[in-house]
Amino acid sequence: MDDHTIEEILSSFAIKGHPTKATPYGSGHINDTFRILTEEADGTQHQYTLQRINHAVFRKPQQVMDNIERTLAHLSTKAKAFPGVRSLGLVRTKERRNCVRTFDGKWWRMYDFIDGVISYDNVRDPDVVYEAARGFAQFQNMMADLPLPRLHETIPYFHHTPMRYATLEEAAYLDIRGRAQEVAAEIDFVRSRRHLVAHLLNRYLRGQIPERITHNDTKINNALFDPESKRCVAVVDLDTVMPGLALYDFGDLCRTTCNTADESEPDTDSVHFDIRMFEAAVSGYLDTAHFLVPAEVQELVFSAWLLPFMVGVRFLTDYLQGDTYFKTHYPKQNVDRCRTQFRLVKCIEDLREEMHAVVQRCAKASGRS
């Protein structure tokens, strides 16, 4: 996108000062994010985050924005009870709307840029992992009493694991890009575990695990930290905040914090599941998520297995379908991503007993039996 277009988009928003710089920002796989600098006549500078909402992924961007507005309004009522937590500030358009749809059919929104914080794609510090788990648990806690109506499901069936499995089978069957043979081992890996995909969903359907309002995309780079205290001060990427299972949030956090390698690491031998990070995640989560019922605590280890498995299935499906969903930066990145996830799954299968022992220890320490 050229600067002229960015300037046009920016002119729709009620920002302070004149834009002086727009830089692509972050490493998210879905939206296009820009950091915007502006300057007022007296030299005062401001920073904003401009985002193009990926409307191929979020088919109803207006519903995404409605959810975000309600989420942010609700979080603002909690500010006093949760000092130190910074919330995203939505920048309205000059017509007081929460986003703009440009003539070319693209959807744009703006936030105040949260400054002086740090984000991680990969983290090796257990204190940061502990704080991240606390941050996401606190987010779930703050959202628990959101008044009705139910939030929109911005991506229907987002964490519906049997549906994800069925979509993979369909993609492998249709094989529109002729790639199925090349990833036959990965498809077999999934098939040999298909009896596990509906486990949490079944417990939910039986009423054993409750629906909550969850973030649904708790990868570590969606949390922002104070570099000195290491505390998680903000949770961003609210596009998928909707009804879900708390365990999906916990599992996704482990997926990105316990992996010793990058998500796209081509050398799977360097992928290990770091049980020290797992302990930090469990501990931070259980110390904060006092609302969890025993069945949820019981399934923490399973959720840490399920999320890399499911995200691996999604990367594999996207590769078979021609890399249309996740942003990729080189031709077989989705294959590398999928293999990384499946290696993590394998590591977790080997560490199951130790992981259960960690949960038991942390549950005791957090005052649960």
Nearest to 186 by CA among 349, 334, 316, 325: 316
Is there binding between residue 222 and ligand ADP (CB under 6 A)?
Answer: yes
Rounded to an integer, what distance in angstroms lies between the CA atom of residue 128 and that of residue 125? 5
Q: How far is the CB of 33 from Mg ion (least distance, A)?
A: 8
Tokens 């004149």 belong to 18
Sign of CA dihedral 195, 251, 313, 184: negative
Query: Which residue is closest to ligand ADP by CB?
Result: 28
3-state secondary structure of 327: coil
Element (H, E) at 33: strand 32-39
Nearest to 244 by CA among 278, 284, 206, 217: 217
Q: How many residues bind ligand GN1 (CB under 6 A)?
A: 11
Element (H, E) at 123: none
Which of 249, 263, 296, 323 is close enough to bind ligand GN1 by CB under 6 A?
263
Is there binding between residue 29 and ligand GN1 (CB under 6 A)?
Answer: yes
> What number of other Cβ atoms are within 10 A of residue 330's Cβ?
9
Q: Could you give the string, one character per residue 162-201, with x where binding to ligand ADP holds by CB under 6 A and - elsewhere? A: ----------------------------------------
> Would you say 255 and 308 are in contact if contact means Cβ atoms under 8 Å apart?
yes
- Residue 240 binding partner per list Mg ion, ligand GN1, ligand ADP, none, with a CB distance cut-off of 5 to 8 Å that depends on partner kind: ligand GN1
Distance of CA 57 to the CA centre of its chain: 14
Rounded to an integer, what distance in angstroms lies between the CA atom of residue 352 and that of residue 95? 54
Site for Mg ion in 206-265 (CB under 5 A): 222, 237
Is there binding between residue 128 and ligand ADP (CB under 6 A)?
Answer: no
3-state secondary structure of 24: strand
Nearer to ligand GN1, 19 or 244 (CB): 244
Query: Which residue is closest to ligand GN1 by CB?
Result: 29
Q: How far is the CB of 248 from ligand ADP (least distance, A)?
A: 17
Which of 134, 219, 339, 343 is close enough to bind ligand GN1 by CB under 6 A?
219
Is there binding between residue 88 and ligand ADP (CB under 6 A)?
Answer: yes
- Residue 340 binding partner per list Mg ion, ligand GN1, ligand ADP, none, with a CB distance cut-off of 5 to 8 Å that depends on partner kind: none
Residue 216: DSSP 8-state: S
Q: How far is the CB of 321 from ligand ADP (least distance, A)?
A: 19
Nearer to ligand ADP, 12 or 222 (CB): 222
Nearest to 114 by CA among 17, 20, 48, 52: 48
Nearer to ligand ADP, 116 or 156 (CB): 116
Is there binding between residue 318 and ligand GN1 (CB under 6 A)?
Answer: no
Calculate ∠ Cα 94-97-99, nearest 5°. Answer: 100
Q: How many residues bind ligand ADP (CB under 6 A)?
A: 17
> Would you say 271 and 168 are in contact if contact means Cβ atoms under 8 Å apart?
no
For 285-322, give the DSSP string: HHHH-TT--HHHHHTHHHHHHHHHHHHHHHHHHHHHHT
Is there binding between residue 237 and ligand ADP (CB under 6 A)?
Answer: yes
Site for ligand ADP in 8-67 (CB under 6 A): 25-26, 28-31, 33, 49
Q: How far is the CB of 301 from Mg ion (least distance, A)?
A: 25
Q: How far is the CB of 78 from ligand ADP (least distance, A)?
A: 18
Is there binding between residue 113 and ligand ADP (CB under 6 A)?
Answer: yes
> Would you say 222 and 235 are in contact if contact means Cβ atoms under 8 Å apart?
yes
Which of 9, 15, 22, 30 is close enough to bind ligand GN1 by CB under 6 A?
30
Which amino acid is located at 72 in the chain? L
Rounded to an integer, what distance in angstroms lies between the CA atom of residue 281 and that of residue 84? 20
> Under the rule (CB under 5 A), what is the footprint of Mg ion?
28, 222, 237
> Under the rule (CB under 6 A), what is the footprint of ligand GN1?
28-30, 57, 217, 219, 222, 237, 240, 263, 311
> Under the rule (CB under 6 A), what is the footprint of ligand ADP?
25-26, 28-31, 33, 49, 88, 111, 113-114, 119, 221-222, 236-237
